[in-house]
Structure 1
Amino acid sequence: MATIRCGQTIRDNDEMRTRAARIATGLAEHGVTAGDRVAMFLHNDVAVIEASIGAGIVGAVPVPVNWHWKGAELGYLLDDSDSRVLFAHSDLVPTAEAVLGDRLLIEVDNDSAPPTGRHPRYEDWLAAQRPWSQPPTQAPQSMIYTSGTTGRPKGIVRAATTPEQSAASAALIFETFGLAPGMRTLVPAPIYHTAPNVHCLVSAAAGIDLTIMPKFDPEEMLRLIEAHGINHFQAVPTMFVRLLQLPDAVRARYDLSSLTTIVHAAAPCPPEIKRRIIDWLGPIVREYYGGSETGGCVACDSDQWLAHPGTVGRPIADADIRIYSDSGDLLPAGTAGRIHLRPPTGWPNFTYHRNPGKRAEMERDGYLDIGDIGYLDADGFLYLNDRSTDMIISGGVNIYPAEIEACLLELPGVRDAAVFGIPDADLGESIAAHIESTGVTADAVREHIRSNLAGYKVPKLVVFDDDLPREDTGKLFKRKIRARYWPDR
């Protein structure tokens, strides 16, 4: 029987579903009905899956919350989403209490702090409920809040779906993620983010054996793959970098022969890093591209990537891609512009909660702009340049930081890199690089870039930074570093 496990918690599928049915009853007795929101202020934990499924049984919408958020950020989300119930780990309860209002808080025990004793404890509350006995309501997708790189985070609301539409959507997710019935899959990323959240919930619904890491640790990941015979995992490029930085002896210590599929997304993967992962683990690496709003629209396998190095793939199913200029002109192959995606049929439409105008702004001719710049080659494969908000314009020349960051990660001793534009009186912007490294000098950094890229891409400013701020998904909090140089933005 399929199992779901996270840290020391292990449940078989039947036990997990019984517990979810008890949660459904408890939520309903508190007055939660179809369309209401239930927030999850939780670290990675089996409780996230149980509570999400329980909410879905009564037709309520799970709202995963980034557990790094502080009072004002959490308060905004709870108020904006109109969440009626909040599940929170004990160490996060004090943050939640400051903005809780009259909401019910269910406290989930964890090792980081003792129970506060001020709220119903998850296990006691769950045990007091009887399992839900009515037919389940059609379960909605989670309401994910975007990362808020510009302005406040926006809640993504999916259109209601029929069972047939939900089945079509699940089939698309299986295709995009490379999942299959009977697999044993591992999730190393935080499940408050879209892809890991979808990965967990779809796997649990399909009865796929599921291992969730409480937090990512590269050697622990290898141990879990061997211990549980993992066939499949989904990662982000930063995790590949950390895995490759393990000593050869450590990597050789673990039997990874059970792996049949690795899938990655969320950020551009430096080509050299991806090539090394394929060389190590074999041509089992898949990649997909899309957004929280659109789902996966583009994908490629290892053979396609090796034939088109650097691509993120071609459209899946009947999805489509167009590249537009800033002025709205359709651009030909080989010319970079704003990427617009048309999701495949079967992916549910969406709007932004309380902000339908923002949804309308991103659409052109039925295609959606999710903020990336890239181009198509003659064979229809898509390549990413960078986020439109990250592009540097120096002396009228467009410079893409992701290209420079990928180059820096090839320099021995560089562990991480953030490249961005800073004010320049003559050029408008010049290039800054914040680098996490061991034994690397600024001169070596500049010479490496100069030897591999055009001279105008060499950073004017090189700063060595002990701990670059990254989300658990691997995405850089680049705006936090950039804000030091642009105080008025």
Structure 2
Amino acid sequence: MNLTELATQYEDKTAIAMENSGATLTYRELEERSNQIAHLFRSRGLGPGDHIAVLMKNQLEVFPVVWAAQRSGLFYTPVNWHLSTAEASYIVANCGARMLIHSESLGELAAAAEAASPALNSRLVVGGDLDEVESLEIAISQLPTTPISDESEGYYMLYSSGTTGRPKGILPTLTGESFGAGLGIDHLVGSEFGFGSDTVYLSPGPLYHAAPLGWTMGTVRNGGTAVVMKRFDAEQALQLIDEFAVTHAQFVPTMFVRMLKLPRATRNRYDISSLRLAVHAAAPCAVEVKERMIDWFGPILTEFYSGSEGTGFFMIDTPDWLGHRGSVGRAVLGVVHVCDDDGNELEPGEVGTIWFGDVQRFEYLGDDAKTAEAFNDKGWNTLGDLGHVDEDGFLYLSARRSDLILSGGVNIYPQEIEDALILHPAVEDVAVMGQPDDEMGQRVHAIVQPSPDATAGPELEQELIEHCRANLAHFKAPRSITFGEVPRLPSGKILRRDLIGITAAPGAAEH
């Protein structure tokens, strides 16, 4: 898993390909450019355990930078460039980055982050020129293409998505191992997901998230080729599977929905028979959506459930899922415990807070209180999710605790209502939340993004409410609907903190 050895073995084989642009990096090119950047890090005083921040769009230049950090023993933090200026600046400052490397098109955001980050002493731009900003290409042009003398494994330091509040930095522990040992995910994609030298992996997600970045690097560690999309487009994803004979791909449920809503003639235009594995994660997937994807792709879907914290990891393949519909699988890493609010472990079938035992500790950088909340006195960790296990040990998710709707003393899980609405032909996207109610405590409210050919208004609102009543218990059906765009991160997660402004918009009807 040492890139130098991989480059010697594979030479001009494509390691990374960007969509249909024709831009590629061979193993040899990735090796040489990442070595030059590693020498740059050392020349600027960056040693093992130091931090850099990467503020870049999905582009080829990301990969030499992150591989250089990985082989230099650095922490590297990919920054979500969709965040506000204040949020992105907070992350760069909070992680203690000493160097910021960014896309030319994100110069304004990078300048703001630089101004807010006292530890930062270098800022470099890739993919273009900016006045008074050092060019990475020029900075490394005269540096060696051979490895630095003190290579060791680095680690990506990620931030939580911040869907309900300020993002939290998840500080892992450096292994101290020599470069080539690999990270856990590198071995996992090989042993559990079948990645190897014949793998062609399609990565449609943003590289500032854990799975798209980690799995793309894991593809290279295992000798395969990664095809990276600049942004997800349903038809283009099918076209790339056809063009590159993709063997492995990773999606989030909203991507499945968008592909399923393509016209049948469009879906049938592309050959997807090369696919051996379609992985999905990041958000719960409606049972009907998954059933329809299995009917289309075949029994090749594997789901995993985990968090950026890297504690528990669950997975389930298609045969097991068909016998346990709705489950996210059994534990591969960690031991699952479902507990009530007093910490008592519950029986199978009972819903409670999901805890992971036998895990490696982590910390939320600079936030001792949040770190303490994430662990109990037994050393178990929770991500704040609710769910249950069945008699066979399969885990089922219900909701984030913060998303739970308590109406008239009854727990209502938004995901169940979202699942009932998402495949309705008039619904492009949907999010469900609780709103204050004088009588019931909370009532169910839906935010619906109508399909392009649907007309938002009272008639559609009543149709969707009746649709829910026909498919769910009446008390779970929305009492009101607001029509508007559902705020989501590119990872597919609903940006819950932005929903309040939508529900407060004028003209929301109530029933």
TM over 0.5: yes
Give, in whole Å, the separation in 1 of the partners of 2:417 and 2:84.
Answer: 33
Q: Deviations over 1:181-238 (max 9, x none)?
A: 4211010000101111211222223322111101111111111111111100111000
Choose the corresponding residue for 1:248, options 246, 249, 264.
Answer: 264
* Alignment of structure 1 residues 20-419 onto 2, 5 Å: 20-101=34-115, 103-109=121-127, 115-163=129-177, 166=182, 170-175=186-191, 177-294=193-310, 297-316=313-332, 319-342=334-357, 349-364=361-376, 365-419=378-432
**CA apart distance, 1:73:** 1.4
Give 3-state SS (helix, strand or coil) of 2:175's partner: coil
**CA apart distance, 1:177:** 4.8
**CA apart distance, 1:334:** 0.6
1:11 aligns with 2:2: no
Give 3-state SS (helix, strand or coil) of 2:113's partner: coil
Higher deviation after alignment, 124-133 or 369-378? 124-133
Give, in whole Å, the separation in 2 of the partners of 1:269 and 1:63.
Answer: 28
Decide whether the 8 Å contact of 2:164 with 2:496 is kept in 1.
no
CA 343–267 in structure 1, closer or farther in 2 if over 3 Å, else same: farther
Decide whether the 8 Å contact of 1:176 with 1:299 is kept in 2.
no
Give, in whole Å, the separation in 2 of the partners of 1:2 and 1:390.
Answer: 43
The number of residues matched between the two structures is 478
Decide whether the 8 Å contact of 2:302 with 2:316 is kept in 1.
yes
Letter in 1 for 2:461: A
Give 3-state SS (helix, strand or coil) of 1:4's partner: strand
**CA apart distance, 1:162:** 4.9
Q: Deviations over 1:131-182 (max 9, x none)?
A: 2443343222200011224543211111121549746553234345553442
CA 28–471 in structure 1, closer or farther in 2 if over 3 Å, else same: same
Give, in whole Å, the separation in 2 of the partners of 1:69 and 1:478.
Answer: 14
Instruction: Specify the alignment match of 1:463 in structure 2.
Output: 482
Choose the corresponding residue for 2:464, options 428, 440, 445.
Answer: 445
Give, in whole Å, the separation in 2 of the partners of 1:225 and 1:38.
Answer: 34
Decide whether the 8 Å contact of 2:185 with 2:218 is kept in 1.
no
Give, in whole Å, the separation in 2 of the partners of 1:136 and 1:253.
Answer: 51
Give 3-state SS (helix, strand or coil) of 1:3's partner: strand
Q: Deviations over 1:70-95 (max 9, x none)?
A: 32212211211110111111111112
Give 3-state SS (helix, strand or coil) of 1:333's partner: coil
Give 3-state SS (helix, strand or coil) of 1:370's partner: coil
- What's the RMSD between the two structures over aligned residues? 2.0
Decide whether the 8 Å contact of 2:482 with 2:502 is kept in 1.
no
Letter in 1 for 2:496: K
Letter in 1 for 2:251: A
Instruction: Specify the alignment match of 2:9 in structure 1.
Output: none
Give 3-state SS (helix, strand or coil) of 1:368's partner: coil
Give, in whole Å, the separation in 1 of the partners of 2:241 and 2:16.
Answer: 14
**CA apart distance, 1:427:** 1.1
Give, in whole Å, the separation in 2 of the partners of 1:263 and 1:342.
Answer: 25
**CA apart distance, 1:296:** 5.5
Higher deviation after alignment, 452-461 or 93-102? 93-102
Instruction: Specify the alignment match of 2:442 in structure 1.
Output: 429
Give, in whole Å, the separation in 2 of the partners of 1:62 and 1:449.
Answer: 45
**CA apart distance, 1:295:** 5.0
Give, in whole Å, the separation in 2 of the partners of 1:66 and 1:40.
Answer: 9
Decide whether the 8 Å contact of 1:371 with 1:387 is kept in 2.
yes
1:477 aligns with 2:495: yes
Give 3-state SS (helix, strand or coil) of 1:449's partner: helix
Give, in whole Å, the separation in 1 of the partners of 2:425 and 2:194.
Answer: 32
Unaligned runs of 5+ in 1: none
Decide whether the 8 Å contact of 1:294 with 1:343 is kept in 2.
no
CA 31–161 in structure 1, closer or farther in 2 if over 3 Å, else same: same
Letter in 2 for 1:214: K
* TM norm structure 2: 0.89
Q: Deviations over 1:397-444 (max 9, x none)?
A: 110000000000132221110100111111111111011123361111
Give, in whole Å, the separation in 1 of the partners of 2:31 and 2:397.
Answer: 41
Decide whether the 8 Å contact of 1:288 with 1:296 is kept in 2.
no
Provide the identity percentage: 36
* TM norm structure 1: 0.93
Give 3-state SS (helix, strand or coil) of 2:315's partner: strand
Letter in 1 for 2:365: H
Give 3-state SS (helix, strand or coil) of 1:56's partner: helix
Give, in whole Å, the separation in 2 of the partners of 1:151 and 1:228.
Answer: 39
Decide whether the 8 Å contact of 1:177 with 1:234 is kept in 2.
no
Give, in whole Å, the separation in 1 of the partners of 2:176 and 2:72.
Answer: 15
Give 3-state SS (helix, strand or coil) of 1:210's partner: strand
Decide whether the 8 Å contact of 1:423 with 1:486 is kept in 2.
no
CA 455–86 in structure 1, closer or farther in 2 if over 3 Å, else same: same
Give, in whole Å, the separation in 1 of the partners of 2:24 and 2:185.
Answer: 28
Decide whether the 8 Å contact of 2:157 with 2:172 is kept in 1.
yes
Give, in whole Å, the separation in 2 of the partners of 1:146 and 1:214.
Answer: 22
Give, in whole Å, the separation in 2 of the partners of 1:141 and 1:57.
Answer: 9
Give, in whole Å, the separation in 2 of the partners of 1:485 and 1:262.
Answer: 35
Decide whether the 8 Å contact of 2:418 with 2:431 is kept in 1.
yes
